[in-house]
Structure 1
C-alpha cells in the first residue's frame, strides 16, 4: 500500500460508521427491542465486510510486501475482527434477550433467574469493541504520514 493508495475516504467512512453504531448502542438505554438488536448486528457485520473489502482492495498483488504495508493490512484485519466480535456480542445479546423473554413467559411465578451476562453487559462489550475501530483507522492514517523508523537509535 503506497502513500497514494492509502484508503483515506473508506477508512474515514468506516470510522464514522463505527462511531455512529457505538453511539446508538450507548444511547439506547435498557429499552432494547429484538428488531433493534438485529439491526445492530447487521450494522456490525457491514462494518466488518467494509474493512475486509478495504483490505482486499489494498493488498499488494506482488509477492514482496513492505513492513509498512503489512502493518496497515494487520490493522485492517484488526478492524474487521473488532467489528465481527462486536457483531458476535450483539448476537449473544439478542439470543439472551429472547431466552429471557421466553423464561418470563413460561414462569409460573413473577421471578425469573437469569444466569450469565445480561444483554446489557454483552452490548457494553460490543460498545468497547467498536471503540477500537476509529483508533485503528487513525493509526493507519498516522502510519502512512509518518512511517516508523527502522533504526532503534539515531546517531548523535
Structure 2
C-alpha cells in the first residue's frame, strides 16, 4: 500500500464521510448545540480534505484540456458544498442558542420565534451534502487525473 492515498481513495473517503454526515443529520432533528458544533467540525474536515485534494490536483494536473479543468472544477464544488453546509449548520447553531435564550428570557409561556428554525438550516445543509457523492462519482466516472499523486489528507 502506498504511503500516500491516491486521489481516488481520497474521493472515496470524502464520499463516505459526506454520506455518514448526511445520515446523521437526517436521523436527528436535534437543535442540541454540542451536536451541531460537532457536525460543523465534520463539515470543515470534509472541506479541508477536498481543498487538500484540489491543491494536489492543481499542482500536478495539466490545465490544458477541458477534462482536466472539469476535474478541478468538481473538486472545488465539493469543497464549496462542504463549506456551505458548515455555514448552514453554524446558522442552525446560532438560531438554536438564540431560541433557547429567548425562551429563558420570556416572562410568559408564549415565545415568538422569528426566522427559519434550526431544523430548516439543517435541511439546507443536508441538501448541500447530497451533492458531494454525485460530484465524486462524476470525477471517478469521467476521468480521475494523476492516480499516483503524492497526497496526505489533513488530520
Q: TM-score, normalised by structure 2?
A: 0.85
Unpaired runs of 5+ residues, structure 1, are 1-5, 146-156
Q: Deviations over 1:96-116 (max 9, x none)?
A: 000000000000001111111
Residues 130-145 of structure 1 aligned to structure 2 (within 5 Å)? 130-144=129-143
Alignment pair present for 1:18 and 2:30: no
The equivalent of 2:41 in structure 1 is: 42
The equivalent of 2:148 in structure 1 is: none
User: How many corresponding residue pairs?
Assistant: 140
Distance 1:27 1:135, change over 3 A: same
Alignment pair present for 1:27 and 2:58: no
Q: Deviations over 1:47-103 (max 9, x none)?
A: 111100000011145774321110000000000000000000000000000000000
The equivalent of 1:104 in structure 2 is: 103
The equivalent of 2:51 in structure 1 is: 52
Which structure carries more relative contact order (alpha carbon 8 Å, separation 6+)? 2
Flag the structure with larger Rg.
1
Runs of 4+, deviation exceeding 6 Å: none
Distance 1:27 1:64, change over 3 A: closer
1:127 Cα deviation after fit: 0.5
Deviates more, 1:56-65 or 1:114-123: 56-65
SS in 2 for 1:79: helix
Unpaired runs of 5+ residues, structure 2, are 1-5, 145-155
